[in-house]
């Protein structure tokens, strides 16, 4: 009976977290289940085996997050299990500079995966030859009719400093227009950030909070928005940006590699990190200049085909196939781009 390859995906967050890491792990598991046995875990030890069977080893490990999955990465490499490491935003733009666990993980992984084109630039030169870019995906859906009496600005993501939600709050405060709405979707990852946002929402009735909602509900809210705001200080390659683009909703993003690596350096809807005045000016242009909003939509429509699920699925399966075939281990992994 032919052997069905076993793939263990290590994600520091599972379904209850409902964050970007989980969405990536969930989607990749679905891509791989045709032809592979797949499990998603928060950690891995050799005694864990595969899928509850301590006598079964995974044939491949795919780990998200160099620092938080660092123990599983080290144990897999020591056990001789081929391993791919998916680089998150905090890996690339914070931890790699100072964290020894993240540095070790990057140094020992068989393959490194960045989720947008600028990611490899932040990796040490010696590991770039074994790095591949796999852009994430989302099914295309039509934008829904927005509310007529309000201009809804979507802010989607759990409240934590890296997402910098208060820049969006300060931008809204600069604009007295009662028709503007800041529609926030996501739970609270860090209490201090959540408390500051809650205080702002209590003071300004134009801030509409939905909190943590199922993924399908979040996508419907995005599809109804006029524009999505992504003021993050760092991103590895935001799922929510791709979800907006693939349903025809334009985005305003901070000038960070993780967003420009998906949209392109010439994207017109960009503002400096933390610059609420610049974001407010872009919001006014989206509200008052139909031509500007049309240019954002056209740019997003031009990049949207790169985010088709079939492209990501093919790249993920090629990555695992490369790890399963030692003879191909020195060949470059095809990029989703």
Using pLDDT thresholds of 50, 70 and 90, give the confidence band for residue 327. Answer: very low
Residue 337's pLDDT is what? 55
Q: Which of 41-55, 77-91, 92-106 has the lowest mean pLDDT?
A: 41-55
- Please check whether residues 242 and 111 belong to one and the same domain: no
> Which residues share a beta bridge with 252?
229
Query: What is the distance between the alpha carbons of residues 172 and 205, in angstroms, rounded to a whole number?
Result: 11
Residue 328's pLDDT is what? 45
Residue 326's pLDDT is what? 67
Mean pLDDT of 319-325: 96
Q: Which two tokens stand for residue 251?
A: 């985005």
By percentage, how much of the chain surpasses pLDDT 90? 84
Mean pLDDT of 291-296: 96
Residue 144's pLDDT is what? 84
CATH number, domain with residue 164:
3.40.50.2000
- Please check whether residues 20 and 113 belong to one and the same domain: yes
Q: Is 116's pLDDT higher than 90? A: yes
SS3 label, residue 104: helix
Mean pLDDT of 305-312: 97
Strand 131-133: give its sheet, edge to edge.
Answer: 37-41, 6-10, 60-64, 83-86, 111-114, 131-133
Query: What is the distance between the alpha carbons of residues 259 and 252, in angstroms, rounded to a whole number?
Result: 10
User: pLDDT tens for residues 150-185?
Assistant: 999 999 999 999 999 999 999 999 999 999 999 999
Using pLDDT thresholds of 50, 70 and 90, give the confidence band for residue 55. Answer: confident
Q: In terms of DSSP H, where are the helices of the chain?
A: 20-32, 70-78, 89-90, 96-98, 100-108, 165-173, 191-203, 215-224, 239-245, 257-263, 276-288, 290-303, 309-324
Query: What is the distance between the alpha carbons of residues 14 and 24, in angstroms, rounded to a whole number?
Result: 10
Domain membership flag for residue 333: no
- Please check whether residues 132 and 184 belong to one and the same domain: no
Mean pLDDT of 217-241: 95
- Please check whether residues 76 and 187 belong to one and the same domain: no
Q: Which two tokens stand for residue 59?
A: 């044939």
Q: Which domain holds residue 52?
A: 6-137+308-328
């Amino acid at each position: 009976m032919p052997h069905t390859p076993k793939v263990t995906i290590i994600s520091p967050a599972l379904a209850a977290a409902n964050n970007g890491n989980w969405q990536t792990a969930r989607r990749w598991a679905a891509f791989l289940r045709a032809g592979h046995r797949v499990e998603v875990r928060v950690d891995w030890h050799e005694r864990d085996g595969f899928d509850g069977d301590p006598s079964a080893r995974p044939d491949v490990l795919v780990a998200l997050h160099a620092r938080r999955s660092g123990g599983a990465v080290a144990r897999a490499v020591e056990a001789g299990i081929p391993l791919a490491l998916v680089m998150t935003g905090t890996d690339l733009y914070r931890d790699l500079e100072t964290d020894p666990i993240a540095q070790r993980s990057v140094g020992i992984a068989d393959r490194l995966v960045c989720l947008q084109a600028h990611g490899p630039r932040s990796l040490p030169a010696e590991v770039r030859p074994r790095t591949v870019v796999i852009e994430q995906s989302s099914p295309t859906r039509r934008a829904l009719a927005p509310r007529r009496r309000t201009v809804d600005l979507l802010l989607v993501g759990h409240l934590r400093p890296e997402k910098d939600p208060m820049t969006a709050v300060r931008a809204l405060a600069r604009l007295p227009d009662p028709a503007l709405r800041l529609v926030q979707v996501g739970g609270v990852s860090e209490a201090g950030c959540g408390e500051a946002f809650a205080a702002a929402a209590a003071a300004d009735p134009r801030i509409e909070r939905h909190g943590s909602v199922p993924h399908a509900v979040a996508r419907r809210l995005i599809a109804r928005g006029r524009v999505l705001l992504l003021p993050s200080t760092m991103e590895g390659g935001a799922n929510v940006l791709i979800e907006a683009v693939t349903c025809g909703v334009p985005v305003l993003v901070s000038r960070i590699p993780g967003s420009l690596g998906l949209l392109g350096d010439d994207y017109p809807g960009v503002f400096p990190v933390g610059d609420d005045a610049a974001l407010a000016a872009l919001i006014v242009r989206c509200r008052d200049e139909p031509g500007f909003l049309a240019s954002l939509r056209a740019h997003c429509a031009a990049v949207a085909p790169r985010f088709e699920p079939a492209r990501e699925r093919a790249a993920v399966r090629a990555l695992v196939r490369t790890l399963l075939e030692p003879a191909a281990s020195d060949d470059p992994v095809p990029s989703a781009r």
